[in-house]
Amino acid sequence: MNARIPEMRSTEELREKWMKPEVITGSDILLRSLVLEGVDCVFGYPGGAVLYIYDALYGFNDFHHLLTRHEQGAIHAADGYARASGKVGVCIATSGPGATNLVTGIATAYMDSVPLVVITGNVATTLIGTDAFQEADITGITMPITKHSYLVRDVKDLPRVIHEAFHIANTGRKGPVLIDIPKDVSAAKTLFNPVETLNLRGYNPTVQPNRLQLDKLQAAISEAERPVIIAGGGVIYSGGHEALFEFVNNTGIPITTTLLGLGAFPSGHELWMGMPGMHGTFTANHGIQEADLLINIGARFDDRVTGALGGFAPLAKIVHIDIDPAEIGKNVPADIPIVGDAKTVLELLNQNPVYTEKADAWRQTIQTRKQEKPLKYIDSDTELKPQWVIEHLNETTHGQAIVTTDVGQHQMWAAQYYKFNQPRSWITSGGLGTMGFGFPSAIGAQMAHPERLVISINGDGGMQMCSQELAICAINKIPVKIVVINNQVLGMVRQWQELIYENRYSHIDLAGSPDFVKLAEAYGVKGLRATNKEEAKKIWQEALETPGPVLVEFVVRKGENVYPMVTQGSTIDQMLMGDSE
C-alpha cells in the first residue's frame, strides 16, 4: 500500500515526550491525552468551536489526522478503523451541525457495540443555553445512543475525562462515548498532569462468569442430542475467536454465526452451518428450530435472527452468554443465563471440555443438509449476476481481504457468498442498517491495516450517500477497491415491494444516478465498468493490480432477489427459497 500515512514513533518514545507536567491549553491537553491513549489516527472536520483544537493540530505529527469531506464520513471511518483494529476509533467535529451530523454514525456504533470516542466542540460555557450560533445540546441529543457522555466545563477535568472515556468505550459491552468541549475550555490553560488511574463508581462490568452456571452448561452439553451454537459479534469484540474454535472442536457442536459474527469461526469448517435468520441458510435455520440445546455466545437474539419470537427454537433449552446482563432474557428467555466476557467464558469451558457423544446422528444430519441445501442461484451467460460477482471477488482474493459493505441486497449477497475465515475482516452495519456506512468505513479499515487489501462493496444507492469521500482516497492514496453493485434500483426495498406489497414499486428507481466511472475520475480515482463476466474478470484483475484506489462498477440484473428469505411474522424455518428451488 502506498497511502500517505506517516510513520509513528513508538509508544514509549511518545509517553516520555508527553508525560511531563506542563502549563498548556485544553487543546494541547486533548492531543497529548489522545497520544497517551495510544491513538494513531483521528478522523475529523474543523469548524468554529474546534478552531483552538485544530490550531494545536498545526504541525502536530504524533498521530495522523484525516480530513474527511463530511462529518458522517469521519465517524463511519472511525467506526471502520475500530472494527478492523480492535482499538478505539476517534473522530472530531465542531458544534451544532457538525455535531449533529455525527448522530447517525454514533447510533450505528452503539447498536453494533463499537468502541468510539467522539469529540465535539461547543460554544463557550458562558453561552450554553442561550441558543448561540451553532449551539446544540449534543450530550442531550445523543444520550440514548452513547455509553456515556461528558460536557467538560473545567479544563482541569480534561485529562481525567479523556482517560475515563477510553476505558468506558473499550470495556464491558463496548460502545461510543462522547466528549463535548466548549470553546473556552479548549482555549484555557492549566497544569497538565496525565491521569493513569480510574475511579468509576458504579461501572464494573462482569467479566468472570458464575462457575455454577458453567457447570449447568457442561451438564446440558453432555445430555444434548441436537445442540447448536449461535456466535455473534461479541466473540470477535472480546478476542474470543480462538477459544471459540477450540470449544467447537472440543464439543463437536454445529455452529452458526450471525451477520456481525461472520469471521468469528472459519467458514470452511465442517461444523459451520452458515448464517442464520432472515437471509440465513437452510441448514442454520432448520438446525436452530430442531435443536434441543441452543448456546448463544455474544449475540443479542436480534429480530432478523429470530423471526417470529413465539416460534423461535421451540424445542431448545436456551443458554445465553453475554457481557451485558440487560441483553439476557430481553428477547428470548434464557434457561441458563451466563453473564461474562465471551473469551473468558470459553476459555474456562475449554479447561474441562465435554464432547457431545449423543449428537453423532445430528452432526450427520447437518452434513447432509449442507450438501443437499446449499446457497444457490440461477446463473446467466448474458447478464451479470451479483452473486457471481461476490463469488469472483472471494475466489480471486482467497477470502483474505477485509470486506466492508453498505446496506441492502449487496450486503446480504456479500455475507452469503464471501467466505470469511478470520475475525475483523467483515465490517458492516448490522443493528442500525445505515446506508452510507460502507465506503467511509473501508477508509478507516485501510488506515488501520495499510498492508491489507480492503474491498468496499456498495449498492448504487448507498454509494451516493458518502461518495464525496472519494476525494480523500485520491489525495491520500488510500488504495481501497470500491465495488458498486449497480442494479439501478433500491434493491432490497424493491424485493419487499415485489414479495410483500404485490409489485407496487413505489419510489425506488435510481436510473438517474451518476455515471460512477466518471464520478470516480472527477475525484481523481480510477474508474472501471463491467456488464458481463468476461469484462468483470478483466477489470477486477486490473483493479487488483492497480496500486491506488479504484472504483469498479458491476452492472447487474435489476430484478435479482436475495434468497433464502424469511418474511416478517414467519418463523425462520418458513423460508422462501427462490427460483433455484
Domain of 403, CATH number, reads 3.40.50.970
Final residue of a structural domain among 314, 340, 373: 373
> Which residues are CB-neighbours of 9 under 8 A, at least 6 positions away?
62
361 in a structural domain: yes
Selecting among 412, 465, 492, 565, the annotated active-site residue is: 492
Active site residue 134: yes
Residue 78 lies in a domain: yes
Number of domains in the chain: 3
Same-domain check for residues 475 and 403: yes
Do 292 and 352 have their domain in common? Answer: yes
Separation between Cα atoms, residue 172 and residue 426, nearest integer Å: 22
Q: For residue 2, tell me if it sits in a domain.
A: no
Assess whether 71 carries a catalytic annotation.
yes
Same domain, 345 and 402: no
447 is catalytic: no
Q: Does residue 171 share a domain with residue 24?
A: yes
Residues 272 and 327 in one domain: yes
In a domain, 5, yes or no: no
Whether the CB-CB separation of 176 and 146 falls below 8 Å is answered with yes
List 22, 133, 223, 577, catalytic entry: 133
Supply the pLDDT for residue 6. 52
Q: Is residue 318 part of a domain?
A: yes
Amino acid type, 579: D
- Is residue 399, in this structure, part of any structural domain at all? yes
Residues 466 and 441 in one domain: yes
- Among residues 373, 406, 422, the one where a domain terminates is 373
Say yes or no: 442 and 295 in one domain.
Answer: no
pLDDT of residue 1: 42
Cβ atoms within 10 Å, residue 425: 23
Backbone phi, psi, residue 369, to 5°: -65, -40
Residue 527's SS3 state is: strand
In a domain, 109, yes or no: yes
Looking at the fold, whether 367 and 390 belong to one and the same domain comes out as no
CATH of the domain at 289: 3.40.50.1220
CB 291 within 8 A of CB 314: no
pLDDT of residue 16: 73
Q: Give residue-wise pLDDT tens across range 255-296.
A: 999 999 999 999 999 999 999 999 999 999 999 999 999 999
Residues 277 and 341 in one domain: yes
Q: Does residue 529 share a domain with residue 479? A: yes
Scan for cell 475511579, then name that residue. Answer: 199
Catalytic, 575? Answer no
Q: Is residue 576 part of a domain?
A: no
Sheet holding 317-322, edge to edge: 255-257, 227-231, 293-297, 317-322, 336-339
Residues 461 and 521 in one domain: yes
Of 37, 43, 63, 71, the active-site residue reads 71
pTM (2 decimals)?
0.96
Q: Which of 8, 19, 134, 373 is catalytic?
A: 134
Residue ending a domain, among 161, 192, 223, is: 192
Query: Which one from 87, 147, 174, 183 is the annotated catalytic residue?
Result: 183
Q: Can you give the residue range of the structural domain that contains 557?
A: 386-562
Same domain, 407 and 315: no
Q: Establish whether 133 is a catalytic residue.
A: yes
| Torsional sign, CA 208, 227, 573, 577 | positive
Query: pLDDT under 70 in the chain at which residues?
Result: 1-11, 580-581
